Amino acid sequence: MKHCLVLFALVVGTLSGAQAQETKDEESAQEEGEIRGKVFDAQDGCFDLSKILDEPLGFVPLIIPITEPALGGGAAAMAVFIDKPEGGGRPNMMAAGLLRTSNGSEGVFGGYSGYFLDERLHMTGGAGDVSMNLDFYGVGNNLAPDGQAFRYNLDSTFGMIGADWKLGKDSHWNIGLRYAYAEVGASLVNPTPLGGNFLGGGIDYVVSSLRPTLLFDSRDNVFTPTRGLVSELSLTANLKALGGGSNFQSLKWANYWYHPLVEDTLFLGIKGEMEQSSGDMPFYMRPYVKLRGAPAARYQGDGIAAVEAELRWQCHSRWSVVGFGGVGMSWFDDHPFKGTDTTVTGGAGIRYLIARQYGLHMGLDVAYGEEGPALYIQFGSAWARF
């Protein structure tokens, strides 16, 4: 009888253990299914972060390699939080991150973009503390001899706040105002081969500027637009009356146009911008050509103009390839297109639709310019404006 009881206990224990293991396996399978349901789209079964972003604290983690020729190799780590309103509409966004590169540049930063009052009011803000090592080649066609440059460091603590107001509920027109404040310390890392005072308003400088804007925005998506136009005319005025280090102005007109050449398959984008500065502006704040393949601040001047075109082929429901090319120029004084320093760039890239419900594509671009190749990680459009 005793042996029977022991045998019965062993059988019951084995069955209970098997049942517990089966329950555990079912729970693990359920958890795995829930995880797969969050990162794979139910519509096509592909990797997708839409449901992750729909979570209250859902975010896109980004580790972005920095291969910008002006900064050297490095990386930026970011967390991008996106909140899509119920019923659609433009999303609210918040991002925070840090960066470090091989030439000693480093920093922390954060930003915010939010819509209120049925999207009539768009609020933006940002702040950071960065130390950047950059090269200065001269302004416009007043260049350093033999293409030499001097390296300088910018140590800056900054903040910005702004608002845009839509002129009508269904209007594409907006008026806006932004205020920026920064305390900047500039120092030379090596001697300059250039003559003259290229430090403008001084080594230590306070930025305190207002920027009124007139904006037209008809894009169908803020992340990866396929149609629509963004046209913005803005005037930046740094004012001693607001505590700025000097008085200067910068007038900028930027345009981004998107159009489907073949519906749902082939998309054309064109960027064009022109900027002219005047007044007692520090050299490191002068406008510069922004093109994929052109090092940051390499083509700098009192004024600049640049055009870039991009063609994107949606070869798969998730994957697309892009080709792009551009030309930019900078000039000295207030004589546009006279005595210019020009550059031509181009390249190709690949995109993946990483959040279908948001229309968000991410990808990689390889660009070529006169200074060599460069690699760019893209979050949304290469001409992002949230």
Q: How many CB atoms lie within 10 A of CB 166?
A: 21
186 within 8 A of 153, measured Cβ to Cβ:
yes
Q: Which domain holds residue 341?
A: 37-379
Supply the pLDDT for residue 104.
Answer: 84
Cα–Cα–Cα angle for 242, 245, 248, rounded to 5 degrees: 85
Return the beta strands (E) in the chain as ranges: 59-66, 74-83, 92-101, 106-116, 121-136, 138-139, 142-143, 150-166, 173-188, 204-217, 228-238, 248-262, 266-279, 303-313, 319-331, 341-355, 360-369, 372-379
Asked whether residue 277 is assigned to any structural domain, the reply reads yes
What pLDDT does 319 receive? 97
Q: What is the predicted pLDDT for the residue at 64?
A: 77
Question: Rounded distance, CA 288 to CA 20, Å?
Answer: 66
Report if residue 315 sits inside a domain: yes
* In a domain? residue 274: yes
What's the sign of the alpha-carbon dihedral 306, 135, 373, 377?
negative
Residue 14 lies in a domain: no
Looking at the domain assignment, is residue 16 inside a domain? no
CA distances from 336 to 117, 292, 297, 331 (A): 42, 22, 18, 6
Q: What pLDDT score does 372 carry?
A: 87
Selection from 277, 274, 295, 293 nearest residue 285 by Cα: 277
The CATH number covering residue 302 comes to: 2.40.160.50
pLDDT of residue 12: 43
Domain-embedded: residue 220: yes
* 144 assigned to some structural domain: yes
Give the pLDDT of the chain (386 residues) as one tens digit per residue.
444 444 434 444 444 455 545 555 555 545 555 566 678 988 889 999 888 888 776 777 877 777 666 677 788 888 888 887 776 788 899 999 999 988 888 999 999 999 999 899 999 999 999 998 887 776 655 555 555 667 788 899 999 999 999 999 889 999 999 999 999 988 776 555 544 444 444 478 999 999 999 999 999 999 999 999 999 999 999 999 999 999 999 999 999 999 999 999 999 999 999 999 999 998 888 999 999 999 888 888 899 999 999 999 999 999 999 999 999 999 987 667 666 789 999 999 999 999 998 999 999 999 999 988 888 889 899 998 87
Query: Are the beta carbons of 136 and 129 closer than 8 angstroms?
Result: no
DSSP annotation of 219: -
Check: CB of residue 60 under 8 Å from CB of residue 53.
Answer: yes
Q: Tell me which residue of 163, 195, 190 sits closest to 176, measured CA to CA.
A: 163
DSSP state of 336: T
SS3 string, 56-99, reads: CCCEEEEEEEECCCCCCCEEEEEEEEEECCCCCCCCEEEEEEEE
Answer whether 102's CB lies under 8 Å from 81's CB.
no
Tokens in use for 264?
């749902």
pLDDT at 58: 72
* Domains of the chain: total: 1
19 falls within a domain: no
